[in-house]
Structure 1
Amino acid sequence: MNIYPIAHIIHLYCAIAFVGGVFFEALVLSAIHSKSVNRDARREVERAISHRAVRVMPFVVVGVFLSGLAMAHRYWAILLNPFNSTFGVQLLLKITLAFGILVHFLIAVTKMRRHTLTVAWSKYIHTAVLIQMLLIVFLAKSMFYFNF
């Protein structure tokens, strides 16, 4: 049985949810940190969104990584010698960026559980993850079209 098409669809849906969530938090929700939003209102909104994100995002992250690993099986021969082709280099870079996102996600979860996640750390993590995700989305398409 070929699981690649199923893994690909799961991967796309999970990636859409993850990228959309981080995009929303980094670029839209950050607007509530302006002076025009009451501090109590801001905390209530952050608490509600954080509560939902903590419940949903771990499943999304597990889904995107497990489906990604299932898809990587198809490219195993390329990954054994990734520097032999531009496709391999881009795929390796994409996988490296994905693990960078996983590290940032684990840092965020750990800091949240320890109640040490500051606004500065949150902004840094969201920005770093957003940049990495934008690069991954670019690489996901460019590796099939661009041969440098």
Structure 2
Amino acid sequence: MDKIYPFFLIIHLFCAIIFVGYLFFDVVILAKIKTKTDSQKTLDAISQKITRFMPFVVLMLFITGGAMAGKYFAQPLESMLQKLLLIKICLAALIFIFVVFSLSCHFIFKCKNPLGKFIHPIIFVLCILIITLAKFMFYL
């Protein structure tokens, strides 16, 4: 595991940048554009493109994160790093539930997401918390 850990880390970081970057773009920038423009075609094209590749990004994010987390849980839950990592995993599980729910509404049930415009801001806040915990993990 020690030999492939750096590769998982790089893939995980790039996927996190893509995922959080998209959420930032959607929550902060697209939210303003939606209220000031009538260009629904452009917004639909962006949404269609995102729903095609974002599930792959999220899947890679969770696979690499899970593989890397296994390294830190070889011993019983004792250190602050492990406790913060466990909180990160719980927050990530919440994000995973939201993503699966959203994709199920879109692809399986073919209905509008009942959480609608609230789901991306919620996931964005959870991502900010995860990033903050990731920085604190190695300093506490």
Question: TM-score, structure 1 length as denominator?
Answer: 0.86
1:18 maps to 2:12: no
SS in 2 for 1:140: helix
SS in 2 for 1:116: coil
> Aligned AA for 2:98?
H
Runs of 4+ residues over 6 Å off in structure 1:
none
Q: Distance between the aligned counterparts of 1:56 and 1:122, measured in 2?
A: 20
1:116 Cα deviation from its structure 2 partner: 1.6
- Report the number of matched residues: 137
Moved more, 127-136 or 104-113: 104-113
CA RMSD of aligned residues (A): 1.5
1:44 maps to 2:41: yes
The residue number in structure 1 matching 2:31 is: 30
1:86 Cα deviation from its structure 2 partner: 1.7
1:60 maps to 2:57: yes
Identity of aligned residues (%): 39
Q: Could you report, residue by residue, the CA deviation over 1:88-117 in whole angstroms, capped at 9, with x for unpaired residues? A: 111000011111111111111122232222
> Aligned AA for 2:32?
A
Q: Distance between the aligned counterparts of 1:30 and 1:122, measured in 2?
A: 13
Question: TM-score, structure 2 length as denominator?
Answer: 0.90
Gaps of 5+ in 1: none
SS in 1 for 2:95: helix
Gaps of 5+ in 2: none
Counting helix residues as a fraction of each chain, which structure ranks higher? 1
The residue number in structure 2 matching 1:72 is: 69
Q: Distance between the aligned counterparts of 2:91 and 2:74, measured in 1?
A: 20
On the 8 A contact 2:27/2:121 being kept in 1, the answer is yes
